[in-house]
């Protein structure tokens, strides 16, 4: 009996250790099952044990922060509105859930503050800035009331915008997004010079050389968007700090063979 108990403990240690080192980030929420970038998707991600939820933001015509991946609402609502040219009262009347499943009919394009309110204690929201630095003053105002109880990370493909974000929010981690190997090479040192914490990369770009090079510069590497168990194992073996996925519960179960609720941890960014 003692040998069996010892064997069980030994088998659990690697899984527990890895789970403590790698963040599982829900891409636009639990977007494999629920409509992306909605309150329903965020809540499902938390229920499924995600360490963080990633979302995308734009500024509406009337200066409200709207959560949406696309700058146009056509794909997820069926109505052709450019967010930057449309007032929020019009945007909020759109149904952003039915395209995914009729049971999600009535899901709205959220305001950022609504999504922030879903974040449980000890968890994190990763905010991708889809517009430009013009959003930063309102973003600072929006998160000010939640700073004491929520964790925030910022990401952006535009290096000047994420650099400006780092200057506006020195207390929060900021990462440069990239899916282009030439741009990655060109900007590798610029990320360090800008004072950013590291990179959030398309998983196909991530190699041992990239991770080691980043580590030598005290920069972290995160991966997106991974829905394959073997690929996730490869990335973990290379030392990535976090993995973004559309399927947080499934990936947690595949990687750690445990209930998604059995381990809860900050993302460590």
Q: What is the pTM of this model?
A: 0.90
79-85 contacts at long range (C-beta below 8 A, 24 or more positions apart): 83/58, 83/59, 84/58, 84/59, 84/60, 84/131, 85/61
Q: Is the pLDDT of residue 16 over 70?
A: no
Task: For the chain, give the percent of residues with pLDDT over 90.
Answer: 85
Report the residue count for the chain. Answer: 269
Tens digit of pLDDT for each residue in 204-228? 999 999 999 999 999 999 999 999 9
Which domains, ranges and CATH numbers included, belong to the chain?
Answer: 23-72+111-256 (3.20.20.190)
Write down the pLDDT at residue 263.
Answer: 39
Confidence of residue 177 (pLDDT cuts 50, 70, 90): very high
Q: How far apart are CA 20 and CA 8, in angstroms?
A: 18
At 12 the pLDDT is: 44
Q: What percentage of the chain has pLDDT greater than the value 70?
A: 88
Band the pLDDT of 11: cuts 50, 70, 90: very low
Q: Which residue has the tokens 């450019």?
A: 82
Q: What is the pLDDT of residues 40-97, one digit of tens each?
A: 999 999 999 999 999 999 999 999 999 999 999 999 999 999 999 999 999 999 999 9
| Model pLDDT, residue 81 | 98
């Amino acid at each position: 009996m003692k040998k069996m108990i010892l064997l069980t403990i030994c088998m659990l240690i690697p899984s527990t250790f890895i789970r403590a080192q790698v963040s599982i980030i829900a891409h636009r929420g639990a977007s494999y099952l629920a409509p992306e970038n909605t309150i329903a998707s965020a809540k499902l991600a938390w229920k499924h044990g995600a360490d963080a939820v990633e979302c995308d933001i734009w500024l509406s015509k009337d200066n409200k922060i709207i959560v949406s991946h696309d700058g146009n609402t056509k794909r997820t609502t069926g109505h052709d509105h450019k967010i930057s040219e449309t007032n929020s009262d019009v945007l909020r009347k759109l149904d952003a859930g039915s395209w995914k499943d009729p049971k999600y009919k009535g899901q709205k394009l959220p305001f950022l503050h609504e999504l922030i309110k879903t974040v449980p204690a000890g968890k994190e929201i990763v905010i991708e800035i889809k517009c430009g630095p013009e959003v930063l003053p309102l973003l600072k105002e929006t998160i000010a009331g939640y700073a004491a109880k929520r964790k925030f990370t910022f990401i952006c493909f535009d290096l000047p915008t994420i650099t400006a974000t780092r200057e506006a929010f020195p207390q929060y981690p900021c990462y440069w997004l990239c899916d282009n190997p030439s741009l990655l090479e060109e900007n590798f040192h610029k990320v360090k010079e800008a004072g950013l914490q590291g990179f959030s990369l398309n998983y196909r770009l991530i190699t041992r050389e990239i991770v080691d090079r980043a580590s030598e510069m005290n920069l972290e590497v995160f991966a997106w968007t991974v829905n394959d168990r073997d690929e996730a194992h490869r990335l973990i073996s290379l030392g990535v700090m976090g993995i973004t996925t559309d399927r947080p519960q499934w990936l947690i179960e595949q990687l750690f063979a445990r209930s998604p609720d059995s381990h809860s941890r900050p993302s460590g960014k």
